[in-house]
Amino acid sequence: MAYTVETSTPPNTPIPIGPYNHVAKVGPFVSIGGTAGVDPLTGQLAGSDVYSQAMQIIKSFRAMLESVDSDLGHVIHVNVFLKDMRDFDEMNRAYVEMMGDHRPARTVIGVNELPKPGVLLTMNLTAVTGR
């Protein structure tokens, strides 16, 4: 069986800072690349703190997933790239507020740098479509 890779950057999501699309879909599988907490309306960071940035990331994920007939309840795995592990609790606070009772597999990795100035974390995820 041949699969087609469909890629997109949906409206109302941040513009990628490099040569890529945010969403890649193959059959029922969805991958969303590294996403920072950028408000798509302003192009600026949603805030200078981890909580605000994490909330925006997951709001962007929600819009990206909806564009491919999925939602946060169909997330399989999330990677979190966190600049300062002291921000772990605040990242988790936003994560729980946005994800509700859904607890997909997750990995948190401490990183030294991220490409966009002021970014305190990025996340990416793998999901399936809702069909």
Considering the entire predicted model, what is its pTM? 0.95
Average pLDDT rounded to a whole number, residues 52-58? 98
Q: Quick one: tokens of 105?
A: 């597999």
List alpha helices for 1-131, DSSP H: 50-66, 88-99
Summarize pLDDT for 79-121 with one digit per residue, the tens: 999 999 999 999 999 999 999 999 999 999 999 999 999 999 9
Is there a contact between 78 and 104 (Cβ–Cβ < 8 Å)? yes
Task: Say which CATH number the domain at 94 has.
Answer: 3.30.1330.40
Domain that holds residue 76: 5-128
Number of domains composing the chain: 1
Is there a contact between 57 and 114 (Cβ–Cβ < 8 Å)? no
Length of the chain: 131
Q: Quick one: tokens of 81?
A: 């790239």
Q: Give one word for 113, left, alpha or beta, with left for phi > 0 and alpha for psi -120 to 50.
A: beta
